A = this chain, B = another copy of it.
């Protein structure tokens, strides 16, 4: 490409932190240049190289776009105001990989994630500034797009600590006690190919092209070390994490997540979401546990249910989302008496009916085309963060008598330990290897 043209573009904003680079491996990115020369591949994260990133995706006119720091006490993408789009990806480590492979992968992922969340390409040479004789580092479809609020949240599945191949990465002793595949729940109809996984990445952004670009490039960086097991696109967030966000509606047409834990409720987050310093294992302090459930909705069946019955099943009024005991959307439900059905969703899921158990929900609607009967293959990709997997298990068991079960099927499932945020200059999960 024409260097003088590219030089005329605005240089991207510097990264919010300037790690030494010592903690971040460059091996994976170099490994991308399979079949091509690597001579021209310049990879660097320091501010000194930022001026060389031509065609950077962050432009002055888009400064107002949301941009979230990658480094921090907690990973971004949990209490971050819920973005409009999701691309969730589950990975399995490749056979015969070792601890160094895993560690370098996490370093390379962190390196790329720290850049992409700031609206930059995966590396300084990116899509068009490397050697013309090498495959580009970045796949390029997000060139010119802003960060679009991208967050990338990484997790460790049970199989990473020990699986049928044994303790591949020497991590068995550091396994969180609660990090086990979820027990079978009544009505589960899980597709193993859309469940589980050694690693996960939750990519959320306000532009689906930005989320897809991130997952695609992280998958590419994983080449030879981890392989995409399954992935899911979602839209139309079904929860909110800030009071200023309107409560969205799920595909049953009801407001969902009215009682969610909000980002500014520090006490509730400490009680229900973040792993505490005193919790075991200590490397998880500041982290959380993520449960994903792909919940197919039988929407054509639901759509034939009369309105009063829909309200009864949910326990809320479809219009404003008020509990059937009265008031408005944010009036606490009154579970005395029978106005709210004993097996309604709102009653069974409510903290008051679950010894105060709460979770932070962050799900998305999905539509995967339609099935051969001409019915939309649609539902809720449920995501929840909690301090202990037992919170989800307890709530889900309570829902075994939920009247809503007649209209849903759980078809996918996964659980991951979400380590704390990466410290500046370090990488996500470093505490696990310390």
**B-binding residues in A (CB < 8 A):** 1-2, 5-6, 34-36, 54-55, 85, 87, 127-128, 130-136, 138-144, 193, 207-209, 212, 215-216, 219-220, 227-233, 235-236, 246, 248-254, 299-300, 303-308, 310-311, 317-320, 322, 328, 365, 367-370, 372, 374-376, 378
Contact = CB atoms under 8 A, between A and B. Distances in A.
A228 B370 CA distance: 8
10 contacts: A1-B318, A2-B322, A54-B319, A55-B320, A87-B367, A127-B318, A133-B307, A136-B310, A139-B253, A231-B376
A88 to B, nearest CB: 10
Given A233-B367, A246-B144, A370-B228, A216 B55 contact: no
A190 B311 CA distance: 44
Given A317-B2, A372-B193, A376-B216, A306 B228 contact: no
What is the interface of chain A mostly: helix, strand, loop, or mixed?
A: loop
Contacts of A251: 139, 141, 212, 216
A376 B253 contact: no
B235 A209 contact: yes
A368 to B, nearest CB: 7
A311 B135 CA distance: 11
Q: How many copies does the complex hold?
A: 2
Given A139-B303, A230-B369, A249-B141, A308 B2 contact: no
Contact of A253 (B6, B136, B215, B229): B136
A29 to B, nearest CB: 13
Given A5-B319, A127-B253, A127-B319, 4 more contacts: A2-B319, A36-B304, A135-B304, A216-B378
A357 to B, nearest CB: 28
A368 B228 CA distance: 13
Nearest to A3: B319
A367 B212 contact: yes
Given A128-B319, A303-B220, A307-B135, A227 B369 contact: no
A253 B219 contact: no
B250 A141 contact: yes
Nearest to A223: B300
Contacts of A55: 319-320
Given A219-B374, A320-B1, A140 B299 contact: no
Nearest to A125: B307
A304 B227 contact: no
A376 B222 CA distance: 14
Given A140-B254, A249-B144, A376-B216, A128 B209 contact: no
Contacts of A132: 306-308, 311
